[in-house]
Amino acid sequence: MVKEEMKKAILDTIDQGREEIVAFLQELISFPSVTGEEKWIQEFIASRLSEMGLEIDVWEPDWEQLKKHPGYVQVDQGYEGRPNVVGVLKGRGGRSLLLNGHVDVIPANPSAWKHDPWRGEIVGDRLYGRGASDMKSGLAAMTMALDCLLKAGIRPKGDIILEYVVDEERSGHGTLACVLKGYRADAGICCESSDLNIQPACIGRIWFEIIVKGKPAGIARRWEGVDAIEKG
């Protein structure tokens, strides 16, 4: 298949599968995968990757192993029942590509939403839901991109690695666990929202704790107290 034929086959497959692609994103949003509660969405994703014919790796990150790494961030919850999922499409010796995305989202208070945060409701050309941008759209994009390639009869020469990781919102340990397990590639893309621009850099992150001390005082001598909140 020549380059132009390949391009047309891919675009045609995407156009024909538009409804399926959007429906897949809506299914991802329907899982309230708040950090710490990622099990059910991961089971759903693993099943879908298996249907696509990928090699599936499902495992719970080793909390004790993570604690020994210099990139470890203090968390108060381990990873029992919170597996990472990796799907691999084996190539034929070409350069490999790794796509990464996190499945966890921050909590959603339904009373603060105009649309149900777990429905993926479409209004006009917009889809609303918790994680629609950060980052279930990225998960849907990387999954459906490979699915469309396969449906178009195109099999990449190199390995394609899809990582679906837990605990990004608090620590990034899901991705760190993938690194510790040995997943590597010649190139990688984190499928976070980007306004469709390539962002070849990271803002970085520093975790720190500030302790502000006050001075307690009884209600009868309130003026002698020092409010740590006001000082902060």
pLDDT digit string (tens) for 120-143?
999 999 999 999 999 999 999 999
Q: Which of the pair, 79 or 93, is modelled with greater confidence?
A: 79
Q: Are strands 126-128 and 121-123 parallel, antiparallel or unpaired?
A: antiparallel
The answer to whether residue 197 scores a pLDDT higher than 90 is no
Mean pLDDT, to the nearest integer, of 6-29? 96
What is the reported pLDDT for 106?
A: 95
Can 168 be counted among the known catalytic residues?
yes
pLDDT over threshold 80, residue 207: no
Residue 76 known to be catalytic: no
Task: Provide mean pLDDT across the span 78-102.
Answer: 97
Per-residue pLDDT, 194 = 83
Give the C-alpha separation, 227 to 152, whole Å: 65
Indicate the pLDDT class of residue 67, thresholds 50, 70 and 90.
very high
Q: At residue 165, does pLDDT exceed 90?
A: yes
Determine the pLDDT at residue 196: 80
Band (199; pLDDT cuts 50, 70, 90): confident
Q: Which of 57, 147, 159, 168 is catalytic?
A: 168
> Which letter does DSSP use for residue 217 in this model?
-
Angle between the 18-30 and 3-16 helix axes, to the nearest 10 degrees?
60
Element holding 137 (H helix, E strand): helix 137-151
Type of residue found at 83: P
Domains of the chain by range and CATH? 3-203 (3.40.630.10)
Backbone angles phi, psi at 94, to 5 degrees: -80, -175
Catalytic residue among 57, 104, 163, 167: 104
Single pTM value for the model:
0.88
